[in-house]
Amino acid sequence: MSSLRPFHLKAWLAVSAAALLLLTPVAQTPVRAQAAQATPAPAADPSSSQTTVAARSPNEQRSITGRAIDKVKQVAKSAGDIFNRVPCLAPKDTNKVGSKAMGSLPHVANKLVAGQPVVIVAFGSSSTAGYGASSPDFNYPNRLAAQLRRQYPTADITVINAGVGGEDAPEMMKRLQTQVIDVHPDLVIWQVGTNAVLRNLDPGDTAKLVEDGVSRIQAAGDADIVLVDPQYSPAVNQRKESAGKMIKLLGKVAELRHVGIFPRFEVMRDWHENQSIPVESFVIADGLHMNDWGYACFAQLLGDDIIRSVGQIKLGVNVPGDVRAYRPM
């Protein structure tokens, strides 16, 4: 079982400073490449094709190391102040977003209140794995883990990233037992449906598989479950009819099985249509996957709902998990 730990700047600086010296522009992630362009490396000496780091003077070597550290700091700062550039706001138009919501999360909330260890499994495909993020630290499960650990610094919180790119319900069901049920999670966040839309799979078949999977998780233990529907993005919007059916059916599964649902499609559409955020500000150039800001805001809203559920338990408001009245996330 893997545990995603929060971003530690000092440790990352120590490792990344040396690593950045060896990276070529082709190997760099987009954010790192941008930082490298801001501070060009010195031109190679045309008289020698065998110039090495060891051959440089101590002052020159310290200068290169300093520039590498500065680049790492730029990346870290860019990630750290991401919401200063574009704030992460919850949808205000609850009628447009609809009545779908995560609902209360009594199991994970009670464990956090009691100071017991908490295990969260993020189950899904590439947007769970974090494709499009500039670093694994910035995918949504890692962001969520960092937020919860800041909120509950003495708690033992483990967030497992069980995302595999390209999969949807048929492939996920094959690993549901080993990567979800056998882990005995307190909360399962199941992102599903996007690849089924892109692959023109029958939304009804997908919904049946998801319902079966939710039933199996419920039969195995007391885990809270939150389904995450497809993202609002150009690639998904090109299959608007199929996406609409998928979103509606996943909502029905959540209602039938008394589990929560995070209305990702409507939340992301609210970013664009109500908050006037350009789509390219939260979706990368492939027109499908989220960028650092998108993952960070997604994680923030998920975390806010978990924290809100804990607050309810502390106030003695033990709301059943099947109460699904919308609460701004």
Q: List the domain range (segments joined by +) for residue 122.
A: 91-314
State the DSSP H helix or E strand holding residue 227, giving kind and residue range, or none if neither.
strand 224-228
Q: Are residues 191 and 303 in the same domain?
A: yes
30 and 157 in one domain? Answer: no
Which run of H or of E encompasses 141? helix 140-151
Residue 191 pLDDT: 98
**Which CATH number belongs to the domain containing residue 146 in this structure?**
3.40.50.1110
pLDDT at residue 315, as a whole number? 81
Q: Is 27 helix (H, G, I), strand (E, B) or coil?
A: coil
Mean pLDDT, rounded, for 230-254? 97
Listed residues 30, 62, 81: the one ending a domain: 81
- Which tokens belong to 85? 């550039």
Q: Report which of residues 311 and 68 the model is more confident about.
A: 311
Name the nearest CA neighbour of 268 among 289, 253, 241.
289
* Span 136-178, pLDDT tens digits: 999 999 999 999 999 999 999 999 999 999 999 999 999 999 9
Across the beta sheet with 224-228, what order do the strands follow?
A: 157-163, 118-124, 187-191, 224-228, 260-262
DSSP letter at 7 equals: P
Question: Domain for residue 252, yes or no?
Answer: yes
The structure tokens listed for 301 are 């809203």
**Which of these ranges, 125-129, 153-157, 170-174, 317-321, has the smallest mean pLDDT?**
317-321
Higher model confidence: residue 296 or residue 24?
296
pLDDT tens string 248-257? 999 999 999 9
Residue 156, in any domain of the structure = yes
- For residue 76, tell me if it sits in a domain: yes
* 125 and 232 housed in the same domain: yes
The tokens describing 194, both together, are 């996007």
pTM score of the predicted model:
0.73
Tell me: do 59 and 174 sit in the same domain.
no
Q: How many CA atoms lie within 13 A of 284 on its CB side?
A: 15
Q: What band does 238 get if pLDDT is binned at 50, 70 and 90?
A: very high
- Check whether residue 48 and residue 23 sit in a common domain: yes
What is the mean predicted confidence (pLDDT) over 5-12?
39
Q: How many domains does the chain have?
A: 2
The predicted-structure confidence for 206-224, as pLDDT tens digits, reads as follows 999 999 999 999 999 999 9
Residue 318: the pLDDT is 55
Residue 326 is assigned to a structural domain of this protein: no
* Per-residue pLDDT at 4 exceeds 50: no
Kindly provide the residue ranges of all beta strands, DSSP E only, lying in 53-110, ordered along the sequence: none
Residues of the chain with pLDDT > 90, as a percent, come to: 60
Does the pLDDT of residue 57 top 80, yes or no? Answer: no
In sign, the C-alpha dihedral spanning 167, 264, 102, 309 is: positive
Alpha-carbon distance 175 to 125, whole Å?
Answer: 12
Cα 76 to chain center, whole Å?
18
Residue 325 lies in a domain: no
Name the average pLDDT for the chain.
79
Quote the pLDDT of residue 62.
56
